[in-house]
């Protein structure tokens, strides 16, 4: 009896204390913040948090099937979380800020989540399998272009009956306008999954007998009236080997076909083909319905190198603006996929400078889309196909150049005058790679295609007198390898518009297709 009385008394005390705590919290939530000191309420961090809360509470969620007339899928190739963080800091510092407090365009979107990126046969994925998952709703093997996992890689005959239908094809079948834009070759893995079906991503301009190569499938696309806006690199895959382009570069096709000419003949007067900045600037969206822009023989230039190209080529944000202008001519709506393809290539080369500057340009392209669309009828999704082994480490002081060497704080919390030294007595950079070709320095130059072989440096280099912020600097790598590899962790996803809230939480990469199909009613008969 005594024990029960004591227990009851303690329970009453606990309940009273809990009730008091709840009363304090509830009063604070209703504007009575006596529990918070004035210096806390007066902090700009506190004020910004309150503002963000009010904005979140006021968000409208449209879950109606088919509410999205338009879909724009942005894919930052290789744009993992660490790349987003570093690009955010770089962009902020370009605006004269410390950097960490900055927000990239898509980070201002109301909904965000995480995406699991593995392929069905690989823990760390490739771009073909991941892009296939996004645009078809079905995960598959590495190297597969919109073909399911049941066949062997490179098995042409077996793959013919195992193709997967993409969101772009569904949009075309409904009479919507469609587009693909990339800074990589337009026949490269990510854009290719929207229109081609092959068990080998490398068949860009030639394929075994019985299969059609990726470039041919683009020009011959049988769904609807074909893709309306095509802009990117990869011109050589559309031209015969015996022919040269305006820059004197020979084509790659061994079948003698000139696919550019075939594309023009298919659409006649309604089609415009362009190869450079001059053609891009002259192009008038009012007088045409179809656009094919192939701005480089292979991949387009890195954003930091783009202005040095004599022929000239548009930026990703410029292509996005022009593409939206052309696609927006129709009242039926559209599907557009935009890829920042060279983020990935910069990382593979171990060159954070190029990777991050291309990521910043990618964010500008997203900003263009946000400014030129209505969130009430356009679903914009921003994500990555996979990550990289890119890291941000050390304890650099606030505002330290993201591409610079680590400069820490002293005991008073103030920046030190010299870079911090590692255990071997040498300075080190804030960003680096877990594997790759390792340290290299070319002064002001960068490798043009991201695939040029670099000298492998397995040991540490003394960076004391090296400008690590120069375009030609390639970060050190922990494990020596011919090329830096992808990373296997989850990537971020950000969204705005009808159905955007469905992408919150942690989801499979294939879930993205299902959200797009639901939001735009792509599976409904029209």
pLDDT at residue 444 is higher than 80: no
pLDDT at residue 65 is higher than 90: no
Instruction: Give residue-wise pLDDT tens across range 279-301.
Output: 999 999 988 999 999 999 999 99
- Taking the CA atoms of residue 322, residue 90, residue 359 and residue 61 in that order, the dihedral angle to the nearest 10 degrees is -80
Band (pLDDT 50/70/90 cuts) for residue 455 is low
Q: Are 496 and 71 in contact (CB under 8 A)?
A: no
Q: What three-state secondary structure class fits 298?
A: coil
Place of tokens 């919290």: 25
Residue ranges of E strands in 299-392? 334-340, 378-383, 387-388, 390-392
Between 449 and 202, residue with greater pLDDT: 202
Task: Give the pLDDT of residue 326.
Answer: 97
Task: Give the pLDDT of residue 184.
Answer: 98
Percentage with pLDDT > 90 across the chain: 77
Task: Give the pLDDT of residue 268.
Answer: 85
Burial class (CB in 10 A: 0-12, 13-18, 19+), 490: buried
- Predicted TM-score (pTM) of the model is 0.90
Band (pLDDT 50/70/90 cuts) for residue 45 is confident
Q: 90: closest CA among 324, 353, 383?
A: 353
Query: What is the residue extent of each domain of the chain?
Result: 70-390+485-520
CA distance 454 to 475: 12
16, 21, 27, 127: the active-site residue: 127
CATH number of 70-390+485-520: 3.40.720.10
Between 453 and 103, residue with greater pLDDT: 103
pLDDT at residue 407 is higher than 50: yes
Instruction: Give residue-wise pLDDT tens across range 467-476.
Output: 999 998 999 9
Task: Give the pLDDT of residue 32.
Answer: 46
Task: Give the pLDDT of residue 4.
Answer: 46
Q: Are 141 and 159 in contact (CB under 8 A)?
A: no
Instruction: Give residue-wise pLDDT tens across range 330-351.
Output: 899 999 999 999 999 999 999 9
pLDDT at residue 312 is higher than 80: yes
Instruction: Compute the average pLDDT of residues 28-54.
Output: 73
Instruction: Compute the average pLDDT of residues 219-230.
Output: 97
Q: 127 an active-site residue?
A: yes
Task: Give the pLDDT of residue 8.
Answer: 46
CA distance 298 to 204: 11
Band (pLDDT 50/70/90 cuts) for residue 6 is very low
Between 393 and 45, residue with greater pLDDT: 393
Q: Are 152 and 158 in contact (CB under 8 A)?
A: yes
pLDDT at residue 190 is higher than 60: yes
Task: Give the pLDDT of residue 13.
Answer: 42
């Amino acid at each position: 009896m005594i024990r029960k009385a004591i227990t009851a008394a303690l329970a009453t005390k606990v309940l009273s204390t809990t009730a008091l705590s709840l009363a304090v919290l509830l009063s604070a939530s209703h504007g009575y913040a006596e529990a918070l000191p004035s210096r806390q309420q007066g902090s700009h961090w506190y004020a910004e948090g309150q503002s963000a809360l009010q904005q979140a509470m006021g968000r409208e969620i449209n879950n109606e099937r088919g509410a999205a007339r338009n879909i724009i899928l942005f894919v930052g190739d290789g744009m993992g979380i660490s790349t987003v963080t570093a690009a955010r800091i770089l962009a902020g510092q370009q605006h004269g800020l410390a950097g960490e407090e900055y927000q990239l365009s898509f980070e201002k979107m109301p909904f965000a989540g995480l995406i699991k990126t593995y392929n069905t046969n690989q823990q760390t994925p490739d771009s073909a399998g991941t892009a296939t998952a996004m645009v078809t709703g079905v995960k598959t093997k590495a190297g597969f272009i919109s073909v399911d996992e049941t066949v062997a890689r490179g098995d042409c005959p077996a793959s013919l009956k195992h193709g997967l239908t993409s969101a772009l094809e569904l949009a075309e079948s409904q009479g919507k306008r469609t587009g693909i834009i990339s800074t990589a070759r337009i026949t490269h893995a990510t854009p290719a999954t929207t229109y081609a079906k092959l068990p080998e991503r490398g068949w860009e301009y030639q394929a075994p007998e019985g299969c059609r190569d990726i470039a041919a499938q683009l020009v011959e696309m049988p769904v609807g009236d074909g893709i309306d806006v095509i802009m990117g690199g990869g011109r050589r895959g559309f031209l015969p080997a015996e022919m040269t382009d305006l820059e004197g570069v020979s084509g790659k096709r061994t079948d003698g076909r000139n696919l550019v000419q075939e594309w023009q003949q298919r659409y006649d007067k309604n089609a415009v083909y362009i190869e450079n900045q001059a053609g891009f600037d002259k192009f008038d969206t009012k007088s045409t319905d179809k656009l094919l822009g192939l701005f480089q023989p292979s991949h387009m230039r890195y954003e930091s190198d783009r202005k040095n190209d004599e022929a000239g080529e548009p930026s990703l944000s410029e292509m996005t603006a022009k593409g939206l202008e052309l696609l927006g001519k129709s009242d039926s709506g559209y599907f557009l996929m935009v890829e920042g393809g060279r983020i990935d290539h910069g990382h593979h080369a171990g060159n954070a400078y190029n990777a991050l500057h291309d990521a910043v340009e990618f964010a500008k392209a997203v900003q263009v889309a946000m400014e030129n669309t209505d969130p009430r009828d356009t679903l914009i999704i921003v994500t990555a196909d996979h990550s990289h082994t890119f890291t941000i480490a050390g304890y650099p002081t606030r505002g330290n150049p993201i591409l610079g060497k680590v400069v820490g704080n002293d005991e008073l919390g103030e920046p030190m005058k010299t870079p911090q030294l590692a255990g071997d007595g040498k300075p080190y950079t804030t960003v680096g790679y877990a594997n790759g070709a390792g340290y290299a320095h070319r002064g002001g130059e960068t490798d043009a295609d991201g695939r040029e072989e670099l000298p492998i440096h397995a040991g540490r280099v003394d960076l004391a007198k090296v400008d690590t912020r120069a375009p030609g600097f390639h970060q050190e790598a922990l494990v020596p390898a011919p090329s830096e590899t992808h990373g296997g962790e989850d990537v971020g996803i950000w969204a705005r518009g009808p159905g955007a809230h469905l992408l919150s939480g942690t989801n499979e990469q294939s879930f993205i297709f299902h959200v797009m199909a639901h939001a735009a009613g792509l599976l409904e008969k029209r």
